[in-house]
Structure 1
Amino acid sequence: MRITTKGQVTIPQMVRDHAGLQPGTEVDFIIGDDGVVRVVPAGQGAGQKAMRLDAAITGLRGSADTILSTDEIMALTRE
C-alpha cells in the first residue's frame, strides 16, 4: 500500500470487513506507547486517551518547586 500525497490510503476490503468499518464510518488513529498505530471506530480510543492523561498527571504530581506562596500564586491567576 502507498499513501497518496493527500495522506490517503485505501483500507483493503478484508480489513474493513474484519474491523466492521463501513462507508461513512468515522475513525480515530491511536498511537500506542510501543509506537504502533491503530485505526479504530471513533470514540473507542477516548478511554485510552483519558488513561494516558491520568498517568501523565500522576507522574507530574508533586514535582513542581516554587518560591511563591499559595496566596501569591492565587493572586497571579486572578490578574
Structure 2
Amino acid sequence: MKIDTNGQIAIPPDIREQLGLFPGTDIQLEVVGDTLQIRKPISDRGTQIIATMRGKATGNLSTDEIMQLTRDRS
C-alpha cells in the first residue's frame, strides 16, 4: 500500500466491511510510537440525541396533552 500524492491511502474493502467503515464514517487517527492507529469513535447515537434533548422542553404538559397537540385536528 502506498500513500498517493494527496496523502491518502485506500483501505481495502474487506477491512472496511469488517470494521463497518462506510462512506462518511467518522474516524480518529492516533500516533502511538511509530504506528498510526485508525479507530471509529465509540458512538451511541440514541444516547447522544436524548442527551441533547434532555431539559429542552418548556411547559408542564403531560404525554397525553402533547399527543393531542400533535394529532391532526381536521
> TM-score, normalization: structure 2?
0.49
> TM-score, normalization: structure 1?
0.46
- Higher-helix-fraction structure: 1
